[in-house]
Structure 1
Amino acid sequence: MSSSKAPIPVDSGAGEELFALADAIAAVIGGSVAIEDLDTRVLAYSTIPDQRIDELRRQGILGRRVPDQPGQRAALQLHQYRTVLAATDVVRLPGLAEEELPRAAVAVRAGDLPLGTIWAIEDGTPLDAAGERALLDGARTAALHMLRRRSAAALELHAREQALRAGIDGTAPAKETAYRLGLTPSTPVTLLGFAPAGAGRGSAELLTRLGVGLGRHWAAVRPEAAVATGPRAVYTMVPSEDAASARRLAAQALAAGPLPRENPLRAAVSTLATGVAELPELRAEVDDVLRVTTGDVDAPVVAALADVHARVLLAHLADELNRRPRLRRPDVTAMLEYDRAHDTPYATSVTAWLDAVGNVGEAARRLTVHQNTLKYRLRRARELFGLDLDDPDDRLSCWLQLRVSLEPGS
């Protein structure tokens, strides 16, 4: 490794206050200073001319993250960070390799909450009392700036969540929603939906945890995305993604593991809309897909409406029959009630025959009964309930009501 005296350009996007603070500390102690968060991302660094840095510091500045160490040095690096975060005073540490310069470090805290660390290279002379005070005072000041930056980021995420929720609920004008999300009204958007498979107790808590996890994921991989948690799903709006890209992004989000593996997730991908005005329709589409995939262990993990269209259509038919029970066929209703009262298989037999498009042999095979047994059941269904299976329209209406009535959970 080599050392260098060349200054590194300031990245103004990292926060002017933290860069100014790093320079102020470095001016007192005489060595290069870096301010890091808890993920060892370099938030700011001193830029005083002719300050001495080693290769580890140079890589951290260029990559904006402290590089991982090879072999046994990785364990030493982790131990150093733990030591600094556990200490309440300045900690002196040797270099991890012979050619690395020694460092003095201090934890950045807000009360008992750790926020990050400050690392100063000791260039030739050990830190004196003034240098230690500069590091400790700098840590307190850095905590204020980091908390303010964290609060600003949280407020921004909350504002975007509120904007997306209003957009998918249809309670805000499209122009306002687009403005609050940083888009034009005609920006193409795709809506993704995520929900735990199955339903039951704790689903609200799962959705809350899912929303937090997905919020962190999308902030890292697609900062322009917006996330909102609803009563049955977590929604993510992604601008300008085609169907294939949207599927890939949804699969990546699931792979990121925002929930433990014992809580399997399903993702739904909407069609690409021509603007945010269509968000309510996209939300309905995503909800339809999740409705059928979260209740089926064999359903695709990531699905669009085209993948489950028939199931969605049947679900809407079931809703309509529940709202308007007089649309139900009396003969099919009588057969279903008779089966429930007498534990008979007439409805399942008729359904199997209709599923097989009138092929008695295929239907009997699916039911694991003899063909003559099935023929007898079909004849008795006609006699007992007046079931008419000769007319194509009657067969269709009969089959639809049986399918939605015999569907699990109906």
Structure 2
Amino acid sequence: MTTVQGVVDRVGPTLLHAVVVPDEAVAVTDVVIAEPGRHAAAGDLLLGVAANTAKEAAALVQMAGEHKAAGVVLKPPIASSVQRAARSAGVALIEVHGQTAWAQLVWLLRTVLDAAESENDEGDDPASGALGDLFRLADAVAAMVDAPVTIEDANSRVLAYSARQDITDPARVSTIMGRRQPDEVLAKFRSKGVFRQLSKGRSAIFVPAQADGTLPRLIVPIRMGGELLGSMWAVVRDRVSDERSAAFADAGPVVALHLLRRRARTDAQRRRFAETLRGLLDGTGSPRLAVAELGLPDAPHRVVAIDAAGRAPSGEVDAEGVRLALFDRITTGFSRLRAVAELDGVLYAVVGKDSWPKFAETLTAHDMPPLVAAGSATEIGALASSRAEADETLLLLRAGLLEGHSAAYEQAWTVLALHRAAAAAGSAGVAELGPIPVLRKADEDGTSCYVDTLYAWLRHPGDPRAAAEELRIHPNTLRYRIRKIVELTGVSLEDPDIRMALLVQLVTLRWV
């Protein structure tokens, strides 16, 4: 656990000064720029970028206290009224040197938090002292190549970066701030063939400066046993000497060992989390253990079922590869969820009651989106029922009975009701009764569409124009087909019971 005082001590008194420190220490979990209208989360260290007056600063401190944030960082002078508000709210108040750039402070504080988390994860591992954490390694490599360095994984996510920022450009700033290379930056380097060279080579790659102001890069692939684990990027002023370039490349195997150990530790942790979640989903797990192990608040949650292949034809999508990428995005990317597991080829995630819409929107915002279905919100101990609902909703998405690529159980009740009724009627052989088999046989040669025509006519009672529009035919053609249906079957469509029975049969055919 890293407290506010711990962060201040690590950064040092030159830059940060603790003005108010509550008696009860609160762990710092993230660094967040405070924005108007945006509430803090528990453990956030809020940067008061927009708090330009004592009144605004006091309001920010009060909001931080209400949401159990770890503290607020402000530039001097800090009015006595703001200090009183901090003591009253039980929130730490930190003063940062007035000339400090907020962007640089974000980098520095996140470096401190990530380094502290890495040290906590390393525990008593004897190898950790020899290899050091990735941030210390990035600093060492930066000194070696005399340039700022980032260490990234194979998906261009930033795992660590050096403290020195004497050479930088907008691409590096956006990469570190977003914790991954932005799409436009990736496209820029992809057009230069950088990633093709990374996938094949082992030596350092030099990329000259670009017309838009992007500074030169020296890039080294990180490999182990032929597998590309990631890469190191150095922002340089110009070509570096062969000796420095070789030394930069020689650091690759050391970083690779660290990444392998980190991945092994992460994989073991994921397996433990997944096993705990599977117990919840099948109704055999302990809710109390799940709350502690998975970090789930004791509040209503939804189970979300995710089909990685979406609606793509079988064989056209590497479902396993997409599923692994989705798993990685959910657990380490936009949501950082622990409660994620795979069962029978489907990914399951547990999300908060109200976070489902944003979760679905983020997952499906791609050219070939997965299918995402959510069960209704329920208590932790009843997640097995939410999973059953998510599974049923996912089946309807797969069958195309629900529009779009995502759906929530409670919003799909009409389709669910019809599908369940059709399933029950289908198992009872309802569709084989009366005139429907006659119409189906007549349609076999492809010259008539009696079944579809009757279904549309029954769905739009008294409105032949709407029925004809649904079938994309002229209303007179619809009327002609209905007369032929009556002649062929001998049924009276004036009888309301006959119409209801026919509709049940046709729904059964359509929805099962």
Q: What is the correspondence of 1:206-217 to structure 2 with a 5 Å cutoff?
A: 207-217=319-329
Q: 1:270 aligns with which of 375, 397, 400?
A: 375
SS at match of 1:160: helix
Q: What is the correspondence of 1:76-225 to structure 2 with a 5 Å cutoff?
A: 88=202, 106-118=220-232, 135=248, 138-184=251-297, 186-195=298-307, 196=309, 201-202=314-315, 207-218=319-330, 219-224=332-337
SS at match of 1:368: helix
CA distance in 2 between counterparts of 1:106 and 1:35 reads 11
Give 1:13 shift. 1.1
Which one has more relative contact order, counting CA pairs under 8 Å at least 6 apart?
1
CA distance in 1 between counterparts of 2:145 and 2:482 reads 97
Please give the per-residue CA displacement for 1:357-388, whole angstroms capped at 9, x wherever unaligned.
57899879597125993795599226xxxx99
Give 1:323 shift. 4.0
Q: 2:385 aligns with which of 281, 299, 306?
A: 281
Q: Is the 8 A contact 1:35 1:42 kept in 2?
A: yes
- The answer as to 2:366 corresponding to 1:256 is yes
So what's the TM-score if we normalise by structure 2? 0.56
42 and 374 in structure 1: CA distance in 2 versus 1, 3 angstrom threshold = closer
Give 1:316 shift. 1.3
CA distance in 2 between counterparts of 1:103 and 1:337 reads 71
SS at match of 1:142: helix
Please give the per-residue CA displacement for 1:307-366, whole angstroms capped at 9, x wherever unaligned.
4322221221232234445xx49xx71323344456699877775665345789987959
110 and 402 in structure 1: CA distance in 2 versus 1, 3 angstrom threshold = same
Please give the per-residue CA displacement for 1:162-219, whole angstroms capped at 9, x wherever unaligned.
43333323242333343432214x232123333355597449x754344223223323
Q: Is the 8 A contact 2:223 2:252 kept in 1?
A: yes
Give 1:280 shift. 2.1
Give 1:148 shift. 1.3
CA distance in 1 between counterparts of 2:215 and 2:409 reads 59
SS at match of 1:183: coil
Q: 1:295 aligns with which of 385, 399, 420?
A: 399
Give the AA of the match of 2:137: L
The residue aligned with 2:435 is: 335
- The answer as to 2:510 corresponding to 1:407 is yes
Give the AA of the match of 2:261: R
Give the AA of the match of 1:208: E
Please give the per-residue CA displacement for 1:64-89, whole angstroms capped at 9, x wherever unaligned.
76988x99xx5699567877886655
183 and 297 in structure 1: CA distance in 2 versus 1, 3 angstrom threshold = closer
Q: 1:53 aligns with which of 156, 166, 176?
A: 166
Q: 2:409 aligns with which of 297, 305, 308?
A: 305
Give 1:144 shift. 0.6
Please say which structure displays the higher CA radius of gyration.
1
Q: 1:320 aligns with which of 400, 406, 424?
A: 424
CA distance in 1 between counterparts of 2:467 and 2:198 reads 72
CA distance in 1 between counterparts of 2:133 and 2:149 reads 13
CA distance in 1 between counterparts of 2:467 and 2:245 reads 84
The residue aligned with 1:246 is: 356
372 and 171 in structure 1: CA distance in 2 versus 1, 3 angstrom threshold = closer
Q: 1:13 aligns with which of 104, 111, 114?
A: 114
Q: Is the 8 A contact 1:85 1:106 kept in 2?
A: no
CA distance in 2 between counterparts of 1:193 and 1:149 reads 28
Q: Is the 8 A contact 1:31 1:121 kept in 2?
A: no
Q: CA RMSD in A?
A: 5.2
So what's the TM-score if we normalise by structure 1? 0.67
Give 1:407 shift. 0.9
Q: What is the correspondence of 1:361-380 to structure 2 with a 5 Å cutoff?
A: 365=475, 368-370=478-480, 373=483, 376-377=486-487, 380=490
- The answer as to 2:491 corresponding to 1:381 is yes
Q: Is the 8 A contact 1:161 1:226 kept in 2?
A: yes
**How many percent identity over aligned positions?**
24
SS at match of 1:311: helix
The residue aligned with 1:3 is: none
Give 1:285 shift. 1.9
Q: Is the 8 A contact 1:168 1:280 kept in 2?
A: yes
Please give the per-residue CA displacement for 1:213-261, whole angstroms capped at 9, x wherever unaligned.
32233231100264334447433321242xxx5234313211134x4xx
Q: Is the 8 A contact 1:352 1:367 kept in 2?
A: no
CA distance in 1 between counterparts of 2:149 and 2:167 reads 12
CA distance in 2 between counterparts of 1:362 and 1:104 reads 65
Q: Bigger CA drift: 189-198 or 51-60?
A: 51-60
SS at match of 1:54: coil
CA distance in 1 between counterparts of 2:494 and 2:461 reads 15
CA distance in 2 between counterparts of 1:360 and 1:96 reads 64
Give 1:41 shift. 5.2
**Structure 2 residue ranges without an equivalent (≥5):** 1-103, 119-131, 469-474
Equivalent residues, number: 375
